[in-house]
Every structure is written in structure tokens, then in C-alpha cells.
Structure 1
């Protein structure tokens, strides 16, 4: 190996090697993991996309939203309505199961579902522009209750309490369903196929949000968060930025809802309740407010915890299946990440991302504290 090549390799930051190794690991996982772990990873990816959107709104701009679950539901059910086949028994876009479907190409249905979620956020943005703090939180909370009422009662659109099936995504001739596709002698089902789609969506969403936060919009958002009146005096169009961020956050939630629907393969109203909104708030607090990597870290922690407790409930003390005398895995996970929120607020305001960054405070050259 020549000296020039050695010097060039040494000049590459070690962080890039870590990122490259992590990327290769993520790409190889579907060849080795079983369906449970792949689905758990997909849930974490969808949660991370939604958490990034909420962090742009709450962490970077300071707008408290407790209605994130509503926009996830808009994305999930919007995809089902746009993509479901409406050419079955009956007419007028009503399929053989009695549910409304437009029968659009599934890739177009996914795009339209995200846009509809953004439109829903845009319709609510005038209200968000007039409210702040707890008042905005209560107003967005009302969206969840309204959404739950619609999901349970608009049977033709949502299927009511029983929900509705999710059409599999088709893209470039590849259908992301359970029909197996052999890749290097490994059977790829829906989870394996969706794994790579989820990685692409998460990477694109993270890079876009990072670009927003590091550019002029991000500086304006932080100024609005820190002091809205002062930001307005300095010439920042506060109302326009707050409305734009609300729309963008809603579109991230809609995209997360579409991915969740594809992973679940069925949408049910019970999932999109107030508990889901609180979980997203816990994600961004635990991971780190205003940070893209923090949103991803918090989403991984909060989304994987109940699944791991369910998986290993037999080996864990006090945790057991419901009705057997112990604490149910879902309930135990809420206790744990609730405690994590309190600990982060009290002792680690920067969240998990602050621990990963390992920031040092230097008082004098050569002296650290």
C-alpha cells in the first residue's frame, strides 16, 4: 500500500468509518434476523420518522403538540382509502368489503396520504399560530379525540372498531407483501422488503430535517422558540414559520403512519390514541429536544422497550402476560420510559444525544471539567 493511500486513509475521520460500518450492518440485517426483530426495527424506523417531525415542531420551534397521533392516523387511513381496490362488489368506489377505496397505484396513494396529512396540519396551523404553551397542547389534544370519534364511526372509510386491511405497497414492479422472493438464497417476505424502504425513508427524512435545522429556517425556528416577540422584532416572519413547521411536522407524521400501516398490515382506531401522542413526546424528551439524532435515539428506546419486554417477559421479574398476576409488558414499558423522562429532565436536559456526543466543557487550555 502506497504512502499516499495510507495518509489519505488516516485523514478520514474515524466517525466516517463508524457510519460506514453501521450502514453495512443495517443493510445486512435482513439476511440474518428473524421476522420479530425485523418488525421491531421497522416499528422503530416509523417511530423515528414521526419523532423527527415532532422534534421540528416542539424541540426546535417550541410548539407543544399532543395531537401527533391524529396526523399518523391521517397518513395510515389516507393510504388505505387511496390504495384500496374500489372495483369490487358495488359501485362508487366501494369494494367488496363495503369500504371505500379509490384503487390508485400504491406509491401514489402513499404520496397523497402524506400530502393529506400536511393539508390537515395546514388547516390547523392558524389555530397553532394564535396559541402557545399548554393552550396549544390542549387544542392539539382535541384533534386526537376528534380523530378517534371519526375512526370509530366513519365505517365506510375506516372500518370502524375492526379497522381495515392495508394494501401492500408496489414500487418498480416489486410488491412488498408476504410472497417470498429469494435473495442470495434467503427468502425475503414483507418485513425484509420493507426494511430497505424504511431505511431509505428514514435517511431521507433525517437528512432533510438536518438541513432545515442547520440552515436559515432552523435559526429562525430556534429564535421563535427562545423568544417569539424578539424574533418578530428582528424581522422573522413568526406566523409563517410556525405554520410551515406545523405542516412539515404533520407530513412527517403522515409518512410514519403510512409506514406503520404497511408494517401492521391492518389499521385499527385504538392504536392512534392519546397514549401514542404521549409516547412521541417521551421520545423527543428522552432523545434530546431539537436534535434529529436525539429523535431517532428516543424513538428506538421507546418503541423497542415494550417489544423486548414482551419477548423476554418469561425471564424478567414482575413482568408477565396480562391476567397472570404480574405487570403487563406494555404497562411496565410505560413505567420505565416515564421514569426515563423524569431522569432526563432532572439530570440530563440534553437527552441521550448529549451522552453520545460526550461534550466537554473546557475552562482553560489543557484543563477540562
Structure 2
């Protein structure tokens, strides 16, 4: 119960004659607290709306490098939502996330390719191919879910890691399907009435700005990420989400309360695989050409680092972690090249190596000082700011003490 409700419901203290004294109303203080809570409750939505507005207008001003980087971040964030659902909401450690991302990327390429490059393909419309690729990732995840539902902790991690090794073997050796170690080109995406590839002589101008491939895919990836966030939040706040968290907190107690542990774990693995497959489709479109090396064990470790840095189970934390991990190597490489051009030594370290050092340092610092990740730090800062505003409002509305001459 809040302080204000206690103040209005508690009986007044008796006066010196034993009669109840009249309670002193403090409407100004109550109004100030109400206003402070109302303003604080809208800080998050207002910040989100401002951030969305910035993302919507960014393609009109940003360079091609930053637009391409944004595509990688959006695609990575979609797949990271599947990882944080599995580990953060259910407590299932999976190191096979890269396998399902590869299923989405290669599945879309196979379904949409027309075989003109000498590789196998069905030649389906790109939108249908993307839907089939996500469904393929979900189907394979559903097939693996009985194993995932019966294993816990590191055993599930090792079992799911086997998927990555199997996937790498297939991607390298099934050359007719995947192109082998050299990979294969990704078909351009299109929808009825919309094309997302540069067409000679058909440049699209919006407010005088030419919208090329990167600008068009930017809005496609951004819209996909927003839809994925909505689906994630709906799932987390649903009855199924409460059951998943019950399994995470105490599996035996959840089973005793009638929760089908095996069924809900299989459901979580299915949804997580579909998120990964959708992220794989977006990654394939961003890369234009996919190779097996991209979807190795290192990619699964990077996704684990994303959700640890961002905060387990937090959608915003997953997006933050994805942005941090996905953008760090290309940004370091870009500015390292500029430093080398000015004669500054980088110590012989590549951007990828430096990024790994930064990942490791960030994870160690988070585990030591803020195990909940960036999401927990954000919540702590929000509570601290709320208390400070409440104290400031209370001090400003409190009656001044009388002064005696």
C-alpha cells in the first residue's frame, strides 16, 4: 500500500483531551505525488516514441555505412529476442541459436532462388519464401524440442551445440543446396507492388532523397523488429508467459500446479526458433551473400553475450545487447582504418579481436556489478530518479515552518 493511501485511511491521532483530532488534509502534496507518478509513467513511452521518430527519419540523413549497420542491428535484435525468451523467460540454455539463424537464411535463399546460379531453388515469391523459411526453422526447433524439454542447464547447452556442428557439416558439403564454403547469393526481396532492390532507371525519390536498397530495407527491417517486439511482449504477458516463468523459477512447483512442463518448454523452443529464423532471413538480405562460416559456434556465443549484457528476459535489453555486439566490430574497423590512414598504430589487433576483448570486459563488469544487465541498471536509475523527484516535490509543497522573532 502506498504512503498516500496509508495517510488517507489511518485514523487521526487523539488530541490532549482524548478526542480524535482532525486530520490535516494535504491536497497539494497528494496532487504533486500524483503528477510525479503520471509524468514518470509516461517517460518510457515518450522516450520510445522519440527514438522511433529518430529511426524513421534517419535514412534521410545517414550515410550508407550506418544504414547497412542498422540493418545488421535490426536483424540481430530480432534473433536475440528468441534467445532471451528461451534463457531469460524459461531458463533454457541453448548454444544452437546460430543453427536456426542459418536455417532462416539458407531456407529463404533456397525457397526464393530460381536456379539461375546453378544451385537448387524453388523460385517462390520472396514474401512466401520468407514465411516458409521461418516455418522451417520453427519446424526443426519443434523436432528438437522433446530433447530440449528433457535436458537442463549445461546438458541442454551441449546438446544444442551439436546442432551447430551438424549444420556446419551440411552447409559445407551440400554444395548443390548451399554453395559449399563459397556460399551463394541471396535473392532480392520484394512484395506485391514493392521492390527492395535497385532497379536501373526506376529510382524512388522521397522528399527529394533517393531511396536505394539500404533505405528500403531499413524500413522493412525496422517494421519487422517492431512486430517482433509486440509479439514478444504479448507472449510474455500472456498466460503462457506466466507458465514459462513458473517453470524457470521452480519447475517442480509449476508441475505440481498443473503446468505441462514438457509442452511449454517445447512451445518456447518453437517460438525461439522462429524468432531466430526470422532474424536469419533479415541477415541474409543484409549480407546479400551468405557463407557457412558466418553461422558457426562464435555466432551462438555472441548471442549469449548479447542477452547477458542487455539483461535476461528483457526485450529492450535484448535490443540493446544486439546493438552493442553487432555494431562494435564494424565501427571499430571503420575508425581503425581511419587511424591507420593517419599513421596511428593499432598494435596489430584487428577490429574483431578488439571487439572480443570489449565483450569479455563488459560481461565481467556486468556480472560483478550489475548481474541483471543493462535492463536492471536502467530500472535502478529510474527508481533513483523517481525517488529524487518525489523528494523534491514533497519538499517544495511542504508547509514552511513558522519563524519566531
Q: With structure 1 as the length reference, what TM-score do the two structures score?
A: 0.89
* 1:268-320 superposed Cα distances (whole Å, 9 cap, x missing partner): 10000000000000000000001111111110111111111011114669xx9
Q: What SS class does the counterpart of residue 236 from structure 1 fall into?
A: coil
- Mapping 1:57-96, distance limit 5 Å: 57-85=86-114, 95-96=115-116
- Mapping 1:1-369, distance limit 5 Å: 13-85=42-114, 95-179=115-199, 180-314=203-337, 326-357=348-379, 358-360=381-383
1:172 to partner: Cα distance: 2.5
- Cα separation, 1, equivalents of 2:101 and 2:48: 30
* 1:217-244 superposed Cα distances (whole Å, 9 cap, x missing partner): 1111111111111111111111000000
Q: What SS class does the counterpart of residue 168 from structure 1 fall into?
A: coil
Q: Which runs of 5+ in 2 are unaligned?
A: 1-34, 393-405
1:22 to partner: Cα distance: 1.5
1:248 to partner: Cα distance: 0.3
* 1:82-101 superposed Cα distances (whole Å, 9 cap, x missing partner): 0001xxxxxxxxx2422101
1:181 to partner: Cα distance: 2.0
2:336–2:346 CA contact under 8 A, matched in 1: no
Instruction: Name whichever of 177-186 and 50-59 sits farther off.
Output: 177-186
Work out which of the two has the higher radius of gyration on C-alpha atoms and give 1 or 2: 2
Q: What SS class does the counterpart of residue 308 from structure 1 fall into?
A: helix
2:137–2:276 CA contact under 8 A, matched in 1: yes
Q: With structure 2 as the length reference, what TM-score do the two structures score?
A: 0.81
- Cα separation, 2, equivalents of 1:278 and 1:230: 31
- Cα separation, 2, equivalents of 1:29 and 1:130: 46
- Cα separation, 2, equivalents of 1:247 and 1:214: 18
- Cα separation, 1, equivalents of 2:337 and 2:233: 41
* 1:310-336 superposed Cα distances (whole Å, 9 cap, x missing partner): 11114669xx99x98511001110110
- Cα separation, 1, equivalents of 2:49 and 2:382: 23
Q: What SS class does the counterpart of residue 187 from structure 1 fall into?
A: strand
1:366 to partner: Cα distance: 6.3
Q: 1:236 to 1:316 in 2, by over 3 A?
A: farther
Superposed CA RMSD = 2.3
- Cα separation, 1, equivalents of 2:368 and 2:346: 35
Q: What SS class does the counterpart of residue 383 from structure 2 fall into?
A: coil
2:126–2:190 CA contact under 8 A, matched in 1: yes
Instruction: Name whichever of 172-181 and 241-250 sits farther off.
Output: 172-181
Q: Which runs of 5+ in 1 are unaligned?
A: 1-6, 86-94
* 1:173-220 superposed Cα distances (whole Å, 9 cap, x missing partner): 211113342222211111100100111110010111111112221111
* 1:85-143 superposed Cα distances (whole Å, 9 cap, x missing partner): 1xxxxxxxxx2422101010100000000000000100100110111100000000000
